[in-house]
Amino acid sequence: MVFTTKFIAIIIFCNWGVFMINPLIQKLKDKNKLLIYIPLSIIAVSLILSLVFAIAILSNKKIYNGVYVNDINMGKITYSEGYDLLNSIYTDKINEVEITLTNNDFSKKFNLSEFHIVYDIDNAVKKAYDIGRSGNIFKRLKDILNVSKNGIIIDLEFSFNEKKLKDSIEDFYKNSLIEVQNPDIIIEENNVYFYTGKPGTALNKDEVFEHIYNCIKTVSNESFEIPVETIMPDDANIDDIYNKVLRQSKNASASVENNEVVVVPHIRGIEIDKSELKNIIENNKNKFDTKKELPVSFIEPEIKTENIGDYLFRDVLASYTTYFTTDTQNNANRGVNIRLSSSKINGTLLGPGDVFSFNDVVGPRTSSRGYLSAYVYTNGKIVPDVGGGICQVSSTLYNAVIFSGLETVYRMNHMFTVGYVPYGQDAAVSYNELDLQFKNNTNWPVKINAYATNNSVKFEIVGTNEIPEKKIEIVNVQISSTPAPVKYIDDPNMPQGTSVVIQSGKPGYVYDTYKVTKINGVETERVLLHRSRYNPYQHIVKRGTKAVENEQSDALVNSSEIIELPEDNIPATH
């Protein structure tokens, strides 16, 4: 329809041209200039034919000749034919093309589909079809003539998973690479060798990437022998090799994992004459992948793996015992709590440098875990609570710790004094609040043994005493004291002159505690461990105010009775 319309326009234009020329021809006839008429007619006809040809070219529905996408000739085909052609050459062949990389005896194949390739065929066909179809008639004709004469290439754009491609190349690289080995030392049980080193190979990963990229671009499956570069080992450095040979002997030792002893084997020392080593290295300078035995001397350690058992847990570093009663229900409950918590600690092992936490080892003190209610210190008062009495366990353990010389990490004294250890040597604990922590600062594992009977608890620290002549003493120095405040409660039902103590008071104190170290009885060190501050505890007395006759009053005064709680019955907090 478009062509027909343009054809009618050409006919009208031609008729108009003839109409315009006729008067001129007539005038030329009149003047007998027929020779001029003939060329003008030829020009008019040529002009008309050129216009017809131009309109025909511009009305073409196919891609113009000379247009290429990559190396594919797209000329003289329609838009849809061009799309189908590129799709068959590129997209449809992705699953069929395999790329093979080869390096010496190692090769690897990659299928193009692994890299999720997408060719932008729509855009390429559109660019090809649009050539000669923009601008005015003269620009279009110029573009069509130029592409027909010189041709034009349109790059087919595409996308792919670049990371996956690089990962595949890296995998190929690792599997085909021969790693260079520099000169080194090989130490065996009874021999030491100098290894001369070995050349390696390196691959140009960028070149491999470029090759696969071009294969994706052209959908080709060419094999590729990757160029290999030989990498020579470094020259042996005399000082570095010498320092690698030298080795200090090391005694066998032990650590603790999951409350089990783990033996760390001994290491034999190694020595060598540096001048001899230098001669051996220089004589093997141009040799590769060979080893030369070195004339070394082995130094045996003092403690070997096979006799480490002679050192483990051979000495009692310290022990400490405190006592309690079970004569009342409260004290009986305390005894249950003391025995239960002691059993949790019994057998605990600490490796060198390990830190013990009372709360971590003993765990929560709850009824569900078997603990009973007994008196505790809390919020400035003495009240019953589950787990009462456990502080006697922590305080007994603490004394075994300080007499053994282990390092205290965290310790707090009670708010009031306790009667089962000297002032300044107690350790209060309360789950999630107060803890007792200490560190094994010896070179060997230590074991904590606990022994609890009906009226005593004992802790024993067993380890390795490397200085038998050393002894630890504890000295407590009182800095100050504060009398217990006294409170009187008048009772009109009691005879005047009588009184009853309903709460025994406690004085307050400040104590400094020193650890004294003696070697063969001679003091070598005195260290302040801590300062303990104890609050005074109120003394409460109930006294009678009821009036009585003189004789009876004198008798009552003489029979007045002071009731006090024994100090042993006031347990530590937990």
CB atoms within 10 A of CB 28: 15
* Residue 96 pLDDT level (bands cut at 50, 70, 90): confident
In this structure, the answer to whether residues 181 and 267 fall within a common structural domain is no
Helix (H, G, I), strand (E, B) or coil at 281: helix
Separation between Cα atoms, residue 95 and residue 111, nearest integer Å:
7
Predicted pLDDT of residue 204? 82
223 found inside a domain: no
Q: What global pTM score does this model have?
A: 0.63
In this structure, the answer to whether residues 20 and 99 fall within a common structural domain is no
**Among 58, 83, 101, residue at a domain's last position:** 58
Collect all residues with Cβ–Cβ distance below 8 Å to 230 and sequence separation of at least 6: 199, 200, 201
- β-bridge mates for residue 293, sequence order: 193
In this structure, the answer to whether residues 325 and 299 fall within a common structural domain is no
In this structure, the answer to whether residues 467 and 339 fall within a common structural domain is yes
426 found inside a domain: yes
Q: Are 406 and 438 in contact (CB under 8 A)?
A: yes
In this structure, the answer to whether residues 518 and 448 fall within a common structural domain is yes
459 found inside a domain: yes
Predicted pLDDT of residue 567? 39
392 found inside a domain: yes
**Among 22, 38, 58, residue at a domain's last position:** 58
In this structure, the answer to whether residues 243 and 99 fall within a common structural domain is no
**Among 294, 309, 324, residue at a domain's last position:** 309
221 found inside a domain: no
In this structure, the answer to whether residues 194 and 294 fall within a common structural domain is no
In this structure, the answer to whether residues 288 and 357 fall within a common structural domain is no
Least Cα distance to 422 among 564, 539, 534 occurs for 534
Separation between Cα atoms, residue 211 and residue 227, nearest integer Å:
12
Domain with 263, as residue range(s), is 235-309
Question: Is residue 45 pLDDT above 80, yes or no?
Answer: no
* Residue 379 pLDDT level (bands cut at 50, 70, 90): confident
Least confident residue range of 44-48, 172-176, 405-409: 44-48
Q: Provide the mean pLDDT of the chain.
A: 86
In this structure, the answer to whether residues 262 and 156 fall within a common structural domain is no
Pick the more confident residue, 247 or 5.
247
In this structure, the answer to whether residues 75 and 121 fall within a common structural domain is yes
**What's the structural domain count of the chain?**
4
Question: Is residue 354 pLDDT above 60, yes or no?
Answer: yes
* Residue 39 pLDDT level (bands cut at 50, 70, 90): low
448 found inside a domain: yes
In this structure, the answer to whether residues 376 and 493 fall within a common structural domain is yes
In this structure, the answer to whether residues 182 and 299 fall within a common structural domain is no
